[in-house]
Amino acid sequence: MLILELDQSVALVTGGAKGLGFAIATYLAGKGSKVSVVDLDAEAIAALPPSMDGYVLDVTSRADAKTVVNEIIQRHGRIDILVNNAGVIFSEPFVNIMNPKGMMHDYERFRRSITANLDSVFIMTSSVVEKMVTLRTKGVVVSISSISACGNEGQTAYSAAKAGVNAMTRTWSKELGRMGIRCNAVAPGFIDTPSTRSALNESIIKHIQSNTPLRRLGHAEEVAQAVASVITNDFINGVVLDVNGGLTI
């Protein structure tokens, strides 16, 4: 039997004002979930449809995260679903002999990428799980990882952060499972979003498509569907679900 019915659920989607996060928030809201979206982008938060509550939040700020989670709990009584989607795709080669300013990957940019993509998941999950445990509610955490967690050329920091997300997911699935809190990740490959189009030029996109058995990029809705399936299946725990058309880097 499914314990978590989406139409009776309260969900929080981070980075949900645009891109994949917005597709996930839209999918969950369409299934009747009461969706709150947090995002850095105030303009995109103001433009959310009335079916979603929006909060401007930097998910790397522990204090602000706690404040917003408290506000959502005050409004809805609990949070059943946390989708850790906020993240920033970042590429920089480890060694670049053509760079006159410094040959090696910059350490400050490494730290920033780790903070944006890994610390953010720790901070938000900690804030929400604390409430699930103290309120004795069950729930699900789904974190958006990436195919880059396997180790993608030119993405030291981003790959490390996403591999860390996978490791935290498996660790939490073991620690929190006995409390009725499941933790899973969804690892998209290359999805046709504005962020992919701005990060990769047309010839790289063509190369990726020809190496993908399904010969195309994914759609944001396909990632949203995968998120919904790990939320609603009550025996899926500790899984990193690949959504990449069969491409493995």
Ligand X SMILES: NC(=O)c1ccc[n+]([C@@H]2O[C@H](COP(=O)([O-])OP(=O)(O)OC[C@H]3O[C@@H](n4cnc5c(N)ncnc54)[C@H](O)[C@@H]3O)[C@@H](O)[C@H]2O)c1
- The catalytic residue positions are 158
* Cα distances (Å, whole numbers) of residue 190 to 55, 167, 196: 28, 21, 7
Q: What is the 3-state secondary structure (H, E, C) of 227-245?
A: HHHHHHCCCCCCCEEEECC
The strand ranges marked E within the chain are 10-14, 34-39, 52-56, 81-84, 139-144, 181-188, 240-243
Q: How many residues bind ligand X (CB under 6 A)?
A: 31
Q: Which residues, numbered 218-247, are part of the site for ligand X (CB under 6 A)?
A: none
- Choose the stretch contacting ligand X; rule: CB under 6 A; options: 82-90, 105-113, 176-184, 228-236: 82-90
Site for ligand X in 152-181 (CB under 6 A): none
Long-range contacts of 41-46 (CB under 8 A, 24+ apart): 41/17, 44/17, 44/18, 45/17
Cβ closest to ligand X, residue 89 vs residue 128? 89
CB of 225 to ligand X, least distance (A): 15
CB of residue 165 to ligand X, shortest distance in Å:
8
Q: Evaluate whether 15 touches 39 at the Cβ level (below 8 Å).
A: yes
Which C-beta is closer to ligand X: that of 82 or that of 89?
Answer: 89
26 contacts 224 by C-beta, under 8 angstroms: yes
User: Binding residue for ligand X (CB under 6 A) from 51, 195, 211, 233?
Assistant: 195
**Site stretch for ligand X (CB under 6 A), options 67-75, 87-95, 173-181, 200-208:** 87-95
85 binds ligand X (CB under 6 A): yes
For position 142 contacting ligand X by CB under 6 A, the verdict is no
Burial-class residue 101 by CB neighbours within 10 Å (0-12, 13-18, 19+).
Answer: exposed
Q: Does 4 bind ligand X (CB under 6 A)?
A: no
Binding flag, residue 190, ligand X (CB under 6 A): yes
Q: Which residues bind ligand X (CB under 6 A)?
A: 14-15, 17-21, 39-41, 44, 57-60, 85-89, 116, 120, 144, 146, 188, 190-191, 193-196
